[in-house]
Amino acid sequence: METRKVQVTGGSSFVLTLPKEWINSANIKKNDPLGVIIQADGTLLITTQEVGDKAILTKNFHVDNIKNSSHLFRLLIGAYIMGYTNIVVSSKSNIDGMVRDTVTDFTQIAVGPEIIEEDAHSITVTDFLSPTEMPFNKTIRRMHLLVQTMHTDAMRALLEQDLTIAENVIKRDQDVDRLEWLVARQSNIVIRNISIAKKIGVMPEEASNYYLISRAIERIGDHAVKIAENIEPLTDKKVDPKLISKISQAAELALDIFNRSIKAWINRDIDLANKNIDEKKHLVELCENITDHPIKSKGRTYIAVSYIAESIRRTGEYSGGISEIVINNLIRDSD
């Protein structure tokens, strides 16, 4: 670390010179404005970043050689998650229907982006959502409620042998994805722009933890979908009711661990977080009882049961991971 002495000019102004190497690397000129931000630990942060709700960042995609809709969609989501304000999709020839449809689908799924300009050769998408308008806490609580309902309905579809409910669970997965993308985007914006972090009261380390929690919830939602996708082979009346009961019992415990992990996060409860992690062992035993259950048919029914048991177990593991994040945060905050 380089040390520099504070000087006094005019009898009342305190001056500190800045390293020339940094000035040159940042291309700072005379009279250029710099941001000075007081950190929570008393240190100062000097930044060249634009101060405000968000800096304007633009990402350009030339799509002449992109023929796959999924590939283009992933690029758009990637730019969105990385915090770009404007996304420009352009082509030397006329933009074809696949590209237009993909960009439209992207704006309808992601939270914030809208098409603001369009002609024969380009489409411009702008994100109108300010990072301050969607607090991390509210987004994650919304994700939790969605995924909780998905798991509950997946089990209801099994117990009532209603494939319509199972199909509805699968459709709702996109709602969870779009919120997880939003948290990822907000996290990247906060990590890159300290002035926004200060404005919304979330430091970069906290933003990273919010993202980890949202990622775990999104994975739990994926496993609700996998359960729903494997219900159809178990709607046969020949399936042993005792097997269905075992599945229901394990799923109930997994969902309970999930709900209590979110509760531990909300209430900052380290004891509850520890109990949740300990419960994973019992859940594993229940899942093993499912796969060990004798099944007359070793075909589709056996495979479906195995997938469901695995998804229930993974739900508990991801939920335990949320509790581990809670513990780590509370230990850090206690310093």
How do residues 81-131 score in pLDDT, each as one tens digit? 999 999 999 999 999 999 999 999 999 999 999 999 999 999 999 998 887
Do both 172 and 268 map to the same domain?
Answer: yes
- Whether residue 220 lies inside any domain: the answer is yes
Whether residues 266 and 121 share a domain: the answer is no
The residue segments making up the domain with residue 261 are 132-333
d(CA 212, CA 214): 6
The verdict on 205 and 315 lying in the same domain is yes
CATH number at residue 317: 1.20.58.220
Kindly report the pTM of this predicted structure. Answer: 0.83
Residue 292 placed within a domain? yes
Rounded to whole angstroms, how far apart are CA atoms 218 and 176? Answer: 6
- 318 belongs to a structural domain: yes
Give the total number of structural domains in the chain.
3
8 A C-beta contact, residue 240 and residue 277: no
**Amino acid (1-letter code) at residue 289:** N
pLDDT digits (tens, 9 = 90+) for 153-193: 999 999 999 999 999 999 999 999 999 999 999 999 888 87
Q: Which of 317, 45, 81, 289 is closest to 178 using CA atoms?
A: 81
Same domain, 97 and 15: no
Nearest 5°: CA angle at 41, between 39 and 45?
30
Same domain, 115 and 28: no
CATH of the domain at 23: 2.10.260
Residue 250's Cα: distance from chain center in Å?
26
In a domain, 295, yes or no: yes
Domain identity same for 165 and 309 = yes
Placement of tokens 């300990």 in the chain: 278
Residue 324: closest CA among 277, 263, 283 = 277
The two beta strands, 7-9 and 13-15, are: antiparallel
Last residue of a domain, one of 95, 129, 163: 129
